[in-house]
Chains A and B, each alone.
Chain A
Amino acid sequence: MKKFFTYTFFIIPFLYITFNLFFNSNIINIQAYLITSSGYIALSLIVIILFIPNIPVLYKIIDRRLLGLITFIFSFIHLIFYFFDNNFNLAFLKDDFINLSFIQIGYFTLLLFLPLILTSNDVSKKNLGNMWYKIHKLIYLILVLSMIHYYMIIKADYLIFSFYLLAILVIFFLNYRRN
């Protein structure tokens, strides 16, 4: 039941994007839409993951490890959409990778998910003991880097960014107090 409920965090955004992609003719720049929407979804999911422990009811019904995997999947989809935007052309991608720091941060942040994904099973959790919790604190670093990645592409309007920032500051404060 817990797993089923958690899967809705994948299914709903996935259906939302797919539905818009095929039925919403108001989406004029499809590639840009896919990149931004998947990015917002991944960022929001990290915020949700870190917020959950503050609400006991949510903590009971959401599997945070599974939600972490879902977040990684959306981050990865975000990368694939960026490849798609660049026609999967290696020369274009290399050009960006060399010159653009927000792209470098993006790749690095995605790599940071790897230790979390690899240890996201019961066996690892058991074997690693206290270490497991330390490794999984990486999610905070991922969140900070994601916000920098996001900040760097804003032209002038920081309103939505500041909502995210406010939510994150509140969460950091709550989580710090809880520990």
Chain B
Amino acid sequence: MNKYNLDKEHQITNKTLFDNRRKIMKSMISLPFIFSSNLFSMPSRQKLKFNKDIEYSTNEETNTIKQITSYNNFYELGSGKRDPMLNANMLQTNNWKLTIDGLVEKPLVLDADDLIKKFQLEERIYRLRCVEAWSMVVPWIGFELKRIMDIVKPLSNAKYVAFQSILDREHLPGQKRNILNWPYQEGLRIDEAAHPLTLISVGLYGQVLPNQNGSPVRLIVPWKYGFKSIKSLVKISFVEKEPICTWNEEAPNEYGFYSNVNPHVAHPRWSQKRERRIGDFRKRDTLMFNGYSKFVNNLYDNMDLKKHF
């Protein structure tokens, strides 16, 4: 927050005006061509301390911060790919609390400060494959979800983990209409949640998460389609039964509970055999489990992945 001291500034300027200043400026200048937003560079965000991971990180070229922050699916901020960036400041992250409850020995509440200080952070460079057949490589900062599980100690009857995103109909433009059944919910089987690849992310490119990428805390499950990696988490619950997942609820024949990246199972309306890596000229083949087979194959032994897609 070095250059942009929000607390002092909003005492003299109307807060909504201040929060929307870039948008207002942009809309005044840009007319139909929105290219002028390039003139405004991204404000620098709080830097994080982290170790670099080599075990799970890919050495592929990462996508640029510009690509990662201006081509997003985050329906709470609008359904267009650019909407999350344009509406980023409508996500209110003050006094954020992440509650971990359900079938656990010790429920836990983490605030924004805990999230970046309580756990040793590491950089994980993961591939992200969207169900819409595009992909990116993102240098996330975070820690394994397993670390939280070690603290709260799930009970033996906890078989699944349910995740819930922010619900704020007053501020979030996408939640003013029922595009999806808000709040956004996701779920994992408990062994998937405990897998070392499963990350709780608080940052990318060495800084805290930009709002459009799911600030202040989100899930990353790199071998599943991107929509499983729920953003702006407020609640993690350990439960006995398979939890509701928003896209699965929206179209059960199109988005399964597992939603593992699988080139052999087509989405009913488009192929999943190939993907466009953002920035590439040619399409590339999609890999089973998004290329994480050697780490996650054993989670799905004896399972028919065409049935449990």
Contact = CB atoms under 8 A, between A and B. Distances in A.
Interface string B265-299: 01001110110101000110000000000000000
A29 B274 contact: no
B250 A156 contact: yes
The interface size bin for chain A is 20 to 34
Interface string B63-92: 000110011000100010110000000000
A95 interface: yes
Interface string B127-166: 0000010100000000000000000000000000000000
A29 B66 CA distance: 12
Nearest to B270: A100
Contacts of B132: 155
B282 A28 contact: no
Contacts of A102: 269
A23 interface: yes
A155 B271 CA distance: 15
A156 B35 contact: no
Given A29-B71, A156-B79, A92 B283 contact: yes
Contact of B38 (A26, A96, A152): A26
Interface in A132-179: 152-153, 155-157, 159
Nearest to A101: B269
B285 to A, nearest CB: 11
A24 B32 CA distance: 11
Given A92-B274, A95-B271, A156-B79, A24 B283 contact: no
B241 to A, nearest CB: 25
Contacts of B75: 156-157
Nearest to A31: B276
A155 B133 CA distance: 13
Contacts of A28: 66-67, 70-71, 81, 278
B25 interface: no
A159 B269 contact: no
A156 B180 contact: yes
The interface size bin for chain B is 20 to 34
Nearest to B82: A26
B278 A26 contact: no
Contacts of A4: none
B271 A96 contact: yes
B194 to A, nearest CB: 30
A100 B274 contact: no
A19 B179 CA distance: 32
B134 A29 contact: yes
A29 B179 contact: no
Interface string B30-70: 00111101100000000000000000000000000011001
A152 B250 contact: no
A102 to B, nearest CB: 6
A29 B79 contact: no
B35 A25 contact: yes
A86 B283 contact: yes
A28 B38 CA distance: 13
Contacts of A24: 33-35
B21 interface: no
Interface in B246-275: 250, 266, 269-271, 273-274
Contacts of A86: 283
Interface in A82-128: 85-87, 92, 95-96, 99-100, 102
A149 to B, nearest CB: 11
A103 B29 CA distance: 39
A80 to B, nearest CB: 16
B177 interface: yes
A51 B269 CA distance: 32
Contacts of B270: 100, 153
A46 to B, nearest CB: 22
21 contacts: A16-B32, A20-B35, A24-B33, A25-B38, A26-B37, A26-B38, A26-B82, A28-B71, A29-B71, A29-B134, A31-B276, A85-B276, A92-B274, A95-B273, A100-B271, A155-B79, A156-B179, A157-B179, A159-B79, A159-B177, A159-B179
Given A28-B278, A100-B269, 7 more contacts: A26-B37, A28-B67, A28-B71, A29-B134, A92-B274, A95-B273, A157-B75
